[in-house]
Amino acid sequence: MEVCSGAHHWARVFQQHGRTAKLMAPRLVAPYRMSGKRGKNDAADAAAICEAVTRPSMRFVPLKDEYQPATLCPHRTRQGFVEERTAIYNRLRGLLSEFGVIVLTVQILAVVARRPPSSKGRQFGGFRTIGGSASH
C-alpha cells in the first residue's frame, strides 16, 4: 500500500487477519505513476503501486504500532495551534496596517523601547500610528 493517513491502521487490520502488508512511501511510488495521459486517479495509483512493488530496489516503510501515532497526536495538535495563532496575528497585523496602525513584534519592541519615539508618528503600547490617522 502507498502510505497515507490511514495506511498504518489498515496494515494492522490486514495483519490481524493473517495477511502481509507492506507500506511504500508516496515519493517512491510517484515515479511509476504515468500521470501524463491518465492523470492522478485511483486506477493510475493502483497501477503505479503494482509496478513499484515488483521492483527489487523498492524500500518499504516500517509499520507503526498504535502507540507511535498516539504519542505524536498532542505534538501535532499543539504545532497546528501555534501555526493558526501565528496566521491570525499576521492577518490582524496586515488588516491594522491598512488603517495606519503598525503592530510591532516582540523582537522589534525591544529595540524600539531603547530609542526615543519618532516625530512622524505617535507611539503607544506596542502600536504606532502613521500620520496620526488612528487613535487608541
112 CB contacts (<8 Å, ≥6 apart)? Answer: 104, 123
Backbone dihedral region of 116: left (phi > 0), alpha (psi from -120 to 50 degrees) or beta? beta
Query: Is a pLDDT exceeding 50 seen at residue 127?
Result: yes
More confident residue, 108 or 25: 25
Kindly report the number of other CB atoms within 10 A of residue 52's CB atom.
19
Kindly indicate the confidence band of residue 99, based on its pLDDT and cuts at 50, 70 and 90: confident
Q: Dig out the grid coordinates for 58 from the structure.
A: 523498492
Domain ranges for the chain: 7-53, 67-129
pLDDT confidence of residue 115: 59
pLDDT in tens, 100-110: 877 766 655 55
Closest CA to 136 of 88, 103, 92: 103
pLDDT confidence of residue 114: 65
pTM, two decimal places: 0.53
